[in-house]
Amino acid sequence: MGLKVITAPTVEPVTLATAKLHARIEVDDDDDLIESYISAARQRAEHLTERALAPATFCLYLDAFPADGIQIPRPPINAITSVQYVDGAGDLQTVDSADYALDDAQEPAWVLPAYGYTWPTTLDVANAVRVTFTAGYTADACPAQIKAYILAVVAAMYAQREILAQADRVPKSVQFLDGLLDAYKVWGV
Going from N- to C-terminal start, the domains of the chain cover: 10-53+140-181, 56-135
Residue 189 above 80 pLDDT? no
Helices 144-159 + 16-23 axis angle, to 10: 60
Residue 12 CA to residue 150 CA, distance in Å, equals 10
Residue 46 above 90 pLDDT? yes
pLDDT at 166: 57
Residue 119 above 90 pLDDT? yes
- Does the predicted TM-score (pTM) go above 0.75? yes
Give the pLDDT mean for 28-35. 94
Residue pLDDT, tens place only, 139-164: 899 999 999 999 999 998 888 876 66
pLDDT at 77: 97
Confidence of residue 123 (pLDDT cuts 50, 70, 90): very high
Q: Which CATH class is domain 10-53+140-181?
A: mainly alpha
Q: Is the dihedral of CA 169, 171, 176, 178 positive or negative?
A: negative
